[in-house]
Amino acid sequence: MTRKAPLPPATVRRRTPEQRRRTARRQTRTFRATAATPKPAERKARPRRTAPILPRGRPSKGRLLAAALAVAVAALIGFGFADSRFYVELAEIEGVQYSPLEQIQRQADVDGYSIFWVNGRAAAQRIESLPYVKRAIVRTMLPNRVRIEVQERTPVAVWRVNGQDLWVDLDGFPMPVANPELALPVFVDLDGSSVTAEGSADQQIVNGVHQLREKFPEIGEFAYDRFNGLQFRLPEGALVLLGKPENLAQRLEELLVLEGSLASLGQMPLEIDWRFADGYTLKLP
């Protein structure tokens, strides 16, 4: 019986970890290369927008009319600036009593300009900066007329303060004395206490002086200081101290009654002190 020779032992090939990783990468690439590539999703084609084609031809009647109107307006403006008949020669001024006319003309600054260049609101603001002018209205009329309507401040007293005399209206607004012959009561500030932070006269004090003058028209001078308030002398010679101008109307009515009673009795005091709310005191001779 023949015996076969034994086979040699099989050689076991051992691979390193790096070799195994390379084999795995080659297998992965092979799989990806052979796999079916999915087709991209088909998108729905959108219709392409195109600008509307406008018909070419002659301009419309509306455009021709607008162009003709623009040309006409430009021609009219050019004619207005070129023709001397549209230039202002001398503005008309109304309502002026104290302000010099030449000063208002100069402040308005409209003479010699085309009527189309005159700015009425700006001219009125310049005029209102004058001391006697409270309000001004400037109106323009073709072809070349300008009318200036002025409302002046009404002086109610001469305010004697810090060594100078000024007119004041009911708002306490100070003005230079334009006419010294005008019969106005004199309101003397004895210690500067009637001057406001803006440099005007205290409106309450001025209104108090105005009320006193209406009740006693024969009295020509009034005074004020921070301690005694409003003060004046009655025609009979009695000194009246009225204090602050608050609630002055009631004290004036009572003072008129008191004066009539004292005059009928023939007993006029040297001083009537009515500075306090609880009544008055009399200083007898």
Kindly state the average pLDDT of the residues 54-60: 61
Identify the pLDDT of residue 20: 72
Please check whether residues 139 and 208 belong to one and the same domain: no
Please check whether residues 189 and 269 belong to one and the same domain: yes
Question: Is residue 240 within 8 Å of residue 229, measured between CB atoms?
Answer: no
- Integer Cα distance of 107 and 212 in angstroms: 37
Structure tokens at 128: 């209102």
Identify the pLDDT of residue 67: 74
Lowest average pLDDT, out of 63-77, 207-221, 250-264, goes to 63-77
Please check whether residues 176 and 271 belong to one and the same domain: yes
Query: Does some domain include residue 40?
Result: no
- In tens, the pLDDT along 84-134 reads 899 999 999 999 999 999 999 999 999 999 999 999 999 999 999 999 999
Identify the pLDDT of residue 271: 96
- Domain range for residue 115? 84-152
Kindly state the average pLDDT of the residues 161-178: 96
Choose one of 105, 122, 152: the last residue of a domain: 152
Number of domains, the chain? 2
Answer positive or negative: Cα dihedral of 245, 248, 251, 255.
positive
Structure-model confidence comparison of residues 61 and 156, the more confident one: 156
Please check whether residues 147 and 91 belong to one and the same domain: yes
Structure-model confidence comparison of residues 42 and 189, the more confident one: 189
Structure-model confidence comparison of residues 52 and 279, the more confident one: 279
Please check whether residues 162 and 258 belong to one and the same domain: yes
Question: Is residue 232 within 8 Å of residue 212, measured between CB atoms?
Answer: yes
Please check whether residues 161 and 132 belong to one and the same domain: no
Query: Does some domain include residue 41?
Result: no
Lowest average pLDDT, out of 185-194, 226-235, 237-246, 248-257, goes to 248-257
CATH number at residue 99: 3.10.20.310
Residue 261 half-sphere exposure toward CB, CA atoms < 13 A: 6
pLDDT over threshold 90, residue 54:
no
Structure-model confidence comparison of residues 210 and 67, the more confident one: 210
Query: Does some domain include residue 166?
Result: yes
Identify the pLDDT of residue 27: 64
Identify the pLDDT of residue 16: 74
Name the phi and psi angles at 273, rounded to 5. Answer: -100, 110
pLDDT over threshold 90, residue 29:
no
pTM for the full predicted model = 0.69
Place of tokens 């202002």: 88
- Integer Cα distance of 158 and 185 in angstroms: 6
Query: Does some domain include residue 268?
Result: yes
Percent share of the chain, pLDDT over 70: 78
Query: Does some domain include residue 37?
Result: no
Helix or strand (DSSP H, E) at 19 = helix 17-34
HEC profile of 52-80: CCCCCCCCCHHHHHHHHHHHHHHHHHHHH
Q: What's the whole-number average pLDDT of the chain?
A: 85
pLDDT over threshold 90, residue 252:
no
